[in-house]
Structure formats: structure tokens, C-alpha cells
Amino acid sequence: MIWIVSICLGALVVIFLASRLYIDIKGVYSTEQHDIVIKAYFYKVCLYKKTIIMTNDQHVDLEQLLTAWLNTPQLKNSSRISIGKINIMKRSFIDILQRVRFKKWDWYTQFGLREADVTGFAVGGIWAIKYMIVGYMSQFAQFSKHPHIAVVPQYDRTYLSTQLNCMFSMTMGQIMYSVYLLLRRSSTHTQ
């Protein structure tokens, strides 16, 4: 009787560790709308749904934020410590990416400046940056479908709009192992 119960429990543990958790992220950034919707699915049941809406009064001025950060007196002392943390984050990011399977990756951007030549030059730069990001990720992660990427120039106005719609999955065992590696690396770095 004990053998039957232990075999059933062992089978349930293996099934749980081999089960996939799907994460669906939809983000929109434009002059009219700033929001992110994150959903987590386990066996097609939505376990988590979070909508983050950023209103215009919460909009962050990037130039002001960067200037304040660069004028911080502790920046020089903290940069030496941060390099080690960045290396840990990079290794952890690669470990996680190697276990991720992307089911969907759609990334559309509309960008425009008033001058057509500058808009064309900037759109080419955006294409290059997008393909570098996707190329780097595809070295480590698995894509079940080819990523869809588009940049549409807007020659008649100054405009920026980007939409990212992606869905990826990891098994529960891979998630637990990735968290273990992250905790182990961060604890050995602090000692």
C-alpha cells in the first residue's frame, strides 16, 4: 500500500515539474496609451493577471532622470560593485533564456520625425537595434515561430508608438532551478 501511494506521489511530482507555465505580455507605449498587461497560465487556467496603466502625469522625463543619476556622488564608488552584479545578472539572464520557449513574439513600432531624411536614418537604426535584440535572444532561447518585427516610418509628424506582444513558457522544474541558480550566485557574490 505504501508503495502505491509513493509511486502516485512521485508521478504527481514529475507531472508538476514537467508542466509548463505560460506568460503572456502585451505592452503598448504611444502618446495616447501607456500600458502593460501580464498574464500567467498553468494548464490553460489564468492564474495571474495584472494591468499596469501609466497615465501622462506618471510619465518619466528620461533626460531629467539620467541627469540626476549622473550627478549622484556615490556613483563612482557604486560602479565598481555594480560590475560584479551586472555579470551575475547577465549569467542569470542567459541561464533563464536557455530554458525559455517563445511561442509568440510580435514587435511593431511606428516612428517619425518631421524631416524625411532624419526619419529614414532613425528607422534604420531602430531596425538594427530590434534585430540585435532578437538575434541575441535567439542564440539562447527557442522560438517556435519566427519573430514578427516591423518598423513603420511616419514622415509627416513627430511620433513614437511601439507594441510588444509575446508569450513564452518554462517548465516548473526549470523555473525552480533558475531561481536556485540566481539565489546561489547572488549569495556567493555578497560574501
Can you give the residue ranges of every domain in the chain?
86-190
Average pLDDT over residues 124-144: 91
Give me the pLDDT at residue 164, please: 93
| pLDDT (tens digit per residue) in 50-80 | 998 877 655 555 455 556 655 665 555 555 5
Of residues 17, 30, 96, the one with CA closest to residue 59? 30
In sequence order, the β-bridge partners of residue 21 are: 42, 170
Average predicted confidence (pLDDT) for the chain: 82
Whole-model pTM? Answer: 0.73
